[in-house]
Structure 1
């Protein structure tokens, strides 16, 4: 597969003990993109590995997936921001066409729909939780999305304007809900999904999946918020 380049994108990689996966992920950084690794309290030397491989490292002491993602957003300065797990399950090069869709004005938010490539890439309980949330999201927003996957691209200033508040597992869902409330054009495309390196901190167990679903359901029960002007389609 050929991966065309698109300049001026910051790749935000929330990180908690991913030293083993970081070399694989950072080796797939698209040309012209900057990697922003947000260390969320790693004890395995992840920050040192990331820095040695040329990534910008941000330390976020408040634990939580959303806290790490938002710290990366605040540290970004490129016009476009891409979010991606850094556990080796997703290839950041797959997001290059997403960045092009946003940069060319076809969409405000582009998401990757995970397609497992190998057995064990997506545990049944995690997939079931994701499916249930996608159905609830459809009822809440009318969006016909199939996945709430972590690989996604949007404009930095527009994302900041959404004023996201969740700092736990509900952050990715809140982003989609608030974007829908703001009238953003949201697209979804298939991306390969591989078995992660190491054990998942969130969906590796039924308990972790339950906590993630609980956080996300809380987001879905919140009433629509007024979103500041300039965060939707007019932000191009």
Structure 2
């Protein structure tokens, strides 16, 4: 069994699609981070383990899911239908096979060529800048700080991640690199999400996320 942590804030519209496409052997852990809709109820109806994390913050939700997980390998992914759960084996299999310690899904924006980008320009630019900092400052050969990722649960817990906001995914990579983890990336499809993103849906949300990540970069600067 592989656990899949899904931080969730008002994703009632997306959860049926996401949970309905979870591969066999993958257990969804939906972390309700203060939803005002029926997200928790829908998640339970679809058989997910529901964890409530009252402290707001993307990192707080991710970490609550990590602490609730029991499987050896744990995955993370957004609950907004922008990523296809059927592609989780792409990130999980190399970890499960012992080939990599952390695998991130490099998002490929298929919608761009069809009916408008699923990945706004401001968000794509911010992500590219962060990936450049990782390659330049930490020697991590990544092109995308992708939200679909997999690693060993115990090893991640031992890293002692401290950020509880949008810096959590970046801190995970930085601490993993400092610990000598084998970090890799593989392509996954990036789809038009259900509803409006709390981060990339607005320039303000993207700037807030970048500010959190800059603080993490500064704290881990050699």
Give TM-score scaled by structure 1 length. 0.90
Deviation at 1:224, TM superposition (A): 6.3
The corresponding residue for 1:91 is: 84
Q: Is the 1:115–1:193 contact (alpha carbons within 8 Å) kept by the matching residues of 2? A: yes
Structure number with the higher helix fraction is: 2
Distance 2:198 2:153 in 1: 27
Q: How does 1:30-49 map to 2 (within 5 A)?
A: 30-49=23-42
Distance 2:220 2:97 in 1: 32
Does structure 1 residue 205 correspond to structure 2 residue 202? yes
Distance 2:17 2:124 in 1: 24
Partner of 1:112: helix, strand, or coil? strand
Does structure 1 residue 100 correspond to structure 2 residue 83? no
Runs of 4+ in 1 over 4 A off after TM superposition: none
Pairs aligned (count) = 218
Partner of 1:74: helix, strand, or coil? helix
Q: Is the 1:181–1:224 contact (alpha carbons within 8 Å) kept by the matching residues of 2? A: no
Distance 1:52 1:129 in 2: 36
The corresponding residue for 2:19 is: 26
Q: Is the 1:12–1:72 contact (alpha carbons within 8 Å) kept by the matching residues of 2? A: yes
The corresponding residue for 1:166 is: 163
Does structure 1 residue 156 correspond to structure 2 residue 153? yes
Gaps of 5+ in 2: none
Gaps of 5+ in 1: 1-7, 226-236
Q: Is the 1:140–1:220 contact (alpha carbons within 8 Å) kept by the matching residues of 2? A: no
**Structure 1's 76 and 64: CA in aligned 2 closer, same or farther, altered over 3 A?**
same
Deviation at 1:140, TM superposition (A): 1.7
The corresponding residue for 1:233 is: none
Among 57, 73, 79, the alignment partner of 1:80 is: 73
Distance 1:199 1:84 in 2: 17
Deviation at 1:104, TM superposition (A): 1.1
Partner of 2:62: helix, strand, or coil? helix
Distance 1:97 1:224 in 2: 31
The corresponding residue for 1:62 is: 55
Give TM-score scaled by structure 2 length. 0.96
Distance 1:130 1:208 in 2: 13
Q: How does 1:124-163 map to 2 (within 5 A)?
A: 124-163=121-160
Distance 2:13 2:220 in 1: 41
Deviation at 1:120, TM superposition (A): 2.4
Distance 1:171 1:15 in 2: 15
Deviation at 1:195, TM superposition (A): 0.7
The corresponding residue for 2:192 is: 195
